[in-house]
Amino acid sequence: MKSRGYFIKSAAVLMALPVLSFCAQQNQQPKRPVPSMTSDDVIVERPIRPVEAASAGQPKSSQQVQATENHKSSAGEVSWREAIKAARKQAESAQRRAEETEIRTTDLRNQLGMPGQGAGDRNQTMSDLSTIGDTLKQQKAEAREAADALNKLLDEGRQKGYKEEEGPSSVSKSGEPNEDYYRSKFAELAKSLEDAERRVQLYQNKVNELNQSITGNSRSGDNFFIGQLQEQRDEAQHSLEQALEASQKAQADIAALKEQARTSGLPPGVFR
């Protein structure tokens, strides 16, 4: 038993010698510093942001939007936008003149039936009606031509993928409410309201005139003619309803714009 224990102790000593030798060699080598991680190791490449670029989440100003659009747009698209603005202005102006003249024509017709009119007054009214009738025909033709020219340009733009110029942004570069946006938007909505109210009067006059014609021809027995008058009356009534809806929408949009300006901190005088 004694010799067996001696043998086990000797084997353990022999097995430990390589380990002790390796540890001695490691203690003799110089210690190396443990590497540490710095911010330069984490951020491999810092992105470079242009000075003029807007901050994240900050709306672009109208100047930046326009500059970006002009940069992206071709020379042909820029030229098309200018042509569209001119054609739209001409078409709207021609349509407005024709509608105003037609309303004036109705007013002159109503004057003929007013009491207290002498022969001279009636003759003058008839002369005015003759003159204004020729003017109305010419203005309606001009309005059709202007509308056709505008539609032709719009079709051309759709085929080429052009887009009309955007208006000013609602906020400035600094994030403040942009007064130019509210002024231009108010002017646009006020014009829409004016057009709608004029057309309400125009189509109401037409409905009234056609109703009178239907009543006056009710005993003639000409059902075909009466049917034509009724179709015209129904079309005028539909146009009247559309004009009324447009008027109500324009009024609601103006009220919403004013409320938006108020909550944004703009003074009421911005719409004067």
Residue 181's CATH number: 1.10.287
Q: What is the pTM of this model?
A: 0.69
**pLDDT recorded at residue 121:** 86
- The reply to whether 35 falls in a domain is no
Segments forming the whole domain that contains residue 223: 176-272
* Distance, CA of 39 to CA of 257 (rounded, Å): 49
For 98-124, give one letter per residue: b (16+ CB within 10 A) or e. Answer: bbebbeebbebeeeeeeeeeeeeeeee
| Displacement of CA 122 from its chain's centroid (Å) | 49
**Is residue 191 located within the same domain as residue 236?**
yes
| Residues 188 and 101 occupy one common structural domain | no
Does residue 197 share a domain with residue 153? no
* 40 in any annotated domain: no
Same domain as 215, residue 160: no
Backbone angles phi, psi at 178, to 5 degrees: -90, 110
- Report helix, strand or coil for 197: helix
10 domain residue, yes or no: no
The rounded average pLDDT for each run of 10 residues, N- to C-terminus, in the chain (272 residues) is 44 44 45 37 32 36 49 84 96 97 94 84 91 96 98 96 90 88 95 98 96 90 91 97 98 96 90 85
pLDDT on residue 72? 63
Q: Are 144 and 224 in the same domain?
A: no
Report whether 169 contacts 180 (CB < 8 A).
no
User: Can you give the pLDDT at residue 27?
Assistant: 46
Neighbours of 205 (CB within 10 A): 19
Q: What is the pLDDT of residue 141?
A: 97
**How many distinct structural domains can be found in the chain?**
2
Together in a domain, 184 and 158: no
- Examine the domain organization and report whether 134 and 95 are in the same domain: yes
Q: What is the pLDDT at residue 32? A: 43
Instruction: Please choose, from the candidates 265, 51, 56, the residue with its C-alpha nearest in 3D space to the C-alpha of residue 178.
Output: 265
141 plus 219 within the same structural domain: no
Q: Which pLDDT score is estimated for 7?
A: 42
Q: What is the pLDDT of residue 173?
A: 84
CA distance 259 to 178: 15
